[in-house]
Amino acid sequence: MMKNSFKILFVCLFLVSCQQKITPEDIHKLNGYWEIEKVSFKEGEDKEYKMNENFDYFEIANNKGIRRKVRPQFNGTFLFNEDFENVKVRFEKEQVFLDYSTPYAKWTEELVKLTDEEMCIKNDQNKEYEYKKAGPVNLLKDGEETK
């Protein structure tokens, strides 16, 4: 019985130690294009995305910036309109929050994970959005360099 208790304690400590702590130095990793791979719902369901029409584009400097929806094009460029959300990055205790605002609304999401290639954001309904870093893809093979 005692051995099982130690095993459970060890596994719990291992899982806690694997959680990523996001630091102010990591915030630059937000910049760029992000594609949603999966949404996890609190009810336990997951919705996987094989292909997306829209990506999220972040541009953050000094913990402030914008997020906008962009649409990748076949030639490697991105189409966007003038709509965007202001974003402020807020550190509170061990958590990191993204505070969004537009002329019409304000809301907050928790930044759960952030690496060079992956990001996870949780909203106020406990939906977790798992993203992968994306970039331009030139499907036309026209030889032009994509940016």
pTM above 0.85, yes or no: no
**Residue 20 forms beta bridges with which residues?**
none
pLDDT of the chain along its 147 residues, tens only? Answer: 545 544 454 444 444 434 579 999 999 999 999 999 999 998 888 989 887 889 999 999 999 999 999 998 888 888 988 899 999 999 999 999 999 999 999 999 999 999 999 999 999 999 999 999 997 666 655 555 444
Q: What is the pLDDT of residue 6?
A: 43
Q: What is the pLDDT of residue 141?
A: 58
